[in-house]
Amino acid sequence: ELNEAQRRQRVHGHIESQFLGLIELGMAWWSSDREIIRLTHIDGIGNLKTALAEGKGVILLSAHFAPLDLSVRALGLKLPFDFTYRPHQNPVLDHLLRQHRECNGKHHIPRDDIRALLKTLKSGRAVWYASDQNFGHKNSVFVDFFGIPAATNTALSRIAKLSSARVVPYFYRRLDDDTGYVIEVLPALDNFPGMDSAHDALRINALIEEAVRKAPEQYYWSHRRYKDRPGNEPRYY
């Protein structure tokens, strides 16, 4: 979709956004509740409240953008929820991330602890979950992400089916003028999971694509979304 000059500009914008993300991480940890509320605008919070009112639990589906922890802090001031995570390779940073998120009332559930995740959902709570990282071929299908096949985990479909929880997407971004942040909570997905996990995965990727197009530099492209390739395709990285 982009020419070479536009791609270079996008790369520079991404690097700048990641540096800003470090500042935003500090803001998420140390800013007052009043300051977080002043900086963030949340659209669609009623969608989350409606889904929670059903009492089946909510999978709060999101993706990885630079202001991640800031969005988690802001949304958590409106409604409590827990957090799935993959332990960070740096144990010091992992400890700090857990400590500050838990200070704000969020319990951490290791990504591979399905039993704990299902128990939390069945208790009626909301749990933050992202399915936009590459975990290899296992339990994944290759479906398009911006027109390129990407290994996409199908665990979300299984978790939603086993727990009967509603899936509520939410996305967030830094405003173009750097004056604040917007969080958009979408309506709960209808007919999810469907009969085909590959179709579910494609559906989720399309939602994430739409969010990325609003703030492409802020997305975590550094997670190497296209790391694994189907068949004998050459690697991109």
pLDDT along the chain (237 residues), means of 10: 89 94 93 96 98 97 96 93 84 77 76 93 96 84 96 96 98 94 98 97 98 97 91 86
Place of tokens 């992992």: 94
- CA atoms of 226 and 62, how far apart (whole Å): 19
Identify the pLDDT of residue 103. Answer: 67
Rounded CA-CA distance 98/215 in Å is 27
- What is the fold, at CATH topology level, of the domain defined by 4-223? Glycerol-3-phosphate (1)-acyltransferase (3.40.1130)
Entry pTM = 0.92
| CA distance readout (Å), 34 to 73, 80, 198 | 12, 17, 42
How far, in Å, CA of 33 to CA of 35, rounded? 5
Nearest by Cα to 121 from 187, 42, 51, 207: 51
pLDDT at position 105 is 62
* H helices present in 31-88, as ranges: 33-39, 45-53, 68-76
What pLDDT is recorded for position 104? 64
8-state DSSP, 133: S
Quote the pLDDT of residue 86.
78
Residue 95 phi, psi (nearest 5): -60, -45
Question: Position 202: which residue type?
Answer: L
Amino acid 40 reads T
The DSSP letter of residue 131 is -
